[in-house]
A and B are shown apart, each in its own frame.
Chain A
């Protein structure tokens, strides 16, 4: 046992001394740190600039401006409502729409919100009850910025509109901000119902829908007034809308959300198992190839038995893999506890299973035994080859056989599909660790976990015997790449 640990310590030390190990180890924490920053840089927060030229009297421009503002306030209200619910701050504004989350916010809710002082008044009320640990509310940016009509454009005759709009849509000065969309409402809009929209790129469907809705309402109101309804009644008719009552689970608590959240840790571990296996496996392979390639295997075998060497290498590599996974999980936990926002909301419940000893034991079992099982393939390949180039020939098919089904199964688990195929993969030992880990979040019957675990253990024991023989027989073998027949003969050889 002492020699096994000495070999394991050397393997561990050699791998952890490699620059590539540290680079790989830091990839995830760096991604976690820089991901949100990169997202911030990549996100286009600038509001789309909309210019309205209303020659019909100004009513349409006013209605559209009011509607855009209302929509923004509705968005603010919705976000504020979720913020209040997430941090349990409803006591700050009993009766206020932002303290209620049971409906789609109507125009009346928005009007009441604005009348009560809007976001500043709401935040003032919230601040009175908000604990210091609760982060500040971040209001969403407005989607559209309505701009006054440029004089030249406002004065342009209908045939000259395009020419007048051109410098606004595509300004020659690169520092000047372009207008994204120009909406022209002709003087006879109420009669013809025709309006023009000029844009420097395809307008968003949302803007088109919004313009269409407001202009339709304007036309209908005019039509109703033309039919003898009072202006007040016509306006009221245009504003008729259903009061939609909505019941939703708290943020992150939806059925699909819950399944996804529960699956984050097991799926994450499954991914990490795959990643660290590929990395540490190839490092171990490199070490084995080095021992053969550098002709030092005989010196080593004079001191330790092939079995001690094999177990030492396995333990050293598994320790490296577990260290990597532990560091990555720790980074995730730190990110969950140290950060705020939607990601943290997902990660926190995702790491909740770590409080369950049963779940921890299951994850650890499939992680460690799976690691040993797959690593044995790398070890056997390392013992049979003299160079990394030669090793790649064996490695490629093994990696493909392992990884391809795993990527498919993870997608199947996430989408809730897979059925019989998933069950079958669960009991095929080389895929068992990945499949069981991936299925832990979405629900896997206990008997399947137990049977799959037993099969995996038996398979790994068989591997230790067969690949152990292959390892022992191949260590000192030289010459050509062994044929399949040779490999099988070495696996069957019981002694020297």
Chain B
């Protein structure tokens, strides 16, 4: 959450829950996304990511709680400022690429001429300048995905919502999309995207939120996320480091040369690798190597969410 209410939030959810019949899809979810931030919404299948984004877009309404989008309640009046790329994508097969973009541009409040001009520029940028008048059913899947992206950002949104944007994209289009996300962010847009692919989040996000079974498990920066996991060190020592202060566990990995041994050490929560190193020097604990292993976001996710729920 934002530190104080004076900080501007592009998106804020307060105690939002959504129930479908007997299923609680989103459970008391609260978080805020700062203006200009790229925010990752991470969770496995059925975690509640899509439901949350649909509530933000007013496609469905929360059972309880409140949502603020660009300082207003969710609604179509926000459409002019929002770009949205859903997980399940499709287009009108008999419409041309440019007509499709113009149609969605107009639904977002643009004039037909502005939407056409912007749409043609986007198609040109995506390498589809020559296909503007081609109907969607005659385009390849990759081309159609580019058209859909163009339709999502034709209005130069200040809030870009992307639901599993990388799913189903070929590597070329994944790169294109990453570039567009960075471009939008550098232009000052707030980007919120849901994903279950941690590498994309690691590369793009300023902050992220872990979601499992509709509940928030973590919100913060990537470093904060990593910090939530006990540090892991690889040591080459003459003896077991298990007795050193701050060490939660030590596992012998094997023998090195000349009597040296390889150890994997997990530190206790709040213990610091630097403090451990200082203690070793002070106590004359023989060390040949001390290497801190940064945990991957995937490991952090599993650690925070739990292996069962992470698989869900």
Contact = CB atoms under 8 A, between A and B. Distances in A.
B84 A302 contact: yes
Contacts of B85: 299
Interface in A183-222: none
A234 to B, nearest CB: 85
A295 B86 contact: yes
Interface residues of A, number: 25
Contact of A294 (B60, B92, B103): B92
Contact of A302 (B57, B92, B95, B103): B57
Contact of A298 (B58, B86, B91, B108): B86
A478 to B, nearest CB: 9
A304 B107 contact: yes
Contacts, number: 68
Interface in B259-297: none
Contact of B91 (A294, A308, A496): A294
B76 A3 contact: yes
B82 A302 contact: yes
Interface in A300-319: 300-305, 308
Interface in B67-121: 76, 79, 82, 84-86, 88-95, 103-104, 106-108
B86 A303 contact: no
Query: In the complex, which range does the number of interface residues on chain B fall in?
Result: 20 to 34
Contact of B151 (A298, A299, A476): A299
B40 to A, nearest CB: 20
Contacts of B95: 14
A14 B92 contact: yes
B94 A298 contact: no
Given A6-B103, A6-B106, A299 B89 contact: yes
B59 A299 contact: no
Given A6-B106, A303-B108, A304-B76, A294 B93 contact: yes
A476 B86 CA distance: 12
Contact of B89 (A296, A476, A496): A296
Q: Which among A3, A17, A496 has the highest number of chain B CB atoms within 10 Å?
A: A496
A256 interface: no
Interface in B146-196: 148, 151-152
Contacts of A124: none
Given A294-B91, A294-B92, A299 B84 contact: yes
B61 interface: yes
8 contacts: A18-B94, A294-B90, A294-B93, A299-B104, A299-B151, A302-B84, A303-B76, A476-B54
